[in-house]
Amino acid sequence: QWSTAASLICMTLLINIHDFQDYGPYLNSVNGLFEDRGKHTYWKLEVRKPDGSIVVPDVGIGCYIPGKDEEIILNYSKY
C-alpha cells in the first residue's frame, strides 16, 4: 500500500494540516511549532534521496508518495 508523506508523518509526529479546497493539504504545525505569517515562517517539505541529494517535491505533502529509502524532511523555514 502506498502512503503519502502526510499520512506517514501523522504516525510519528503531532502535526496540524489545514485542507484548502483549491490547493489541498497545507502543513502549518509540527509538534506545536506553528508557521507564523508575521515572521514569514513556514514548514517546507524536502526529501533526501537514497543518493543523499535533497530535493523539494513538485507536489505538496498530501500528494507526495515517498520512494524506497527516501527520508522526509520537514524544515522550518523563512520566506
Query: How high is the pLDDT of residue 2?
Result: 60
Domain count, the chain: 1
CA dist., res. 52 & res. 27, Å (int):
24
Start-to-end CA span in the chain (Å): 35
- 42-50 average pLDDT score: 95
DSSP symbol at 9: H
The domain that holds 71 is classified in CATH as 2.170.130.30
Containing structural domain, residue 37: 5-78
pLDDT at 49 over 80: yes
- The pLDDT score that the predictor gives to residue 37 is 94
Report the relative pairing of strands 24-30 and 15-20 from DSSP bridges.
antiparallel
